[in-house]
Amino acid sequence: MKRYTVTWDKDVEESFIENWMTAAPEVRKHLTEMADWVDENLAVAPNKLGHLRLDQVSRIAVVPISSEVAWASVTYRVSEEDCVVRVVCLLYRRMEVR
Prediction pTM value:
0.89
Q: How many structural domains are present in the chain?
A: 1
| Count of beta carbons in the 10 Å neighbourhood of residue 30 | 22
Q: What is the pLDDT of residues 8-37, one digit of tens each?
A: 999 999 999 999 999 999 999 999 999 999
Cβ–Cβ under 8 Å, residues 69 and 97 = yes
Which range of residues forms the domain containing residue 53? Answer: 5-94
Q: What is the pLDDT of residues 63-81, one digit of tens each?
A: 988 888 888 999 999 999 9
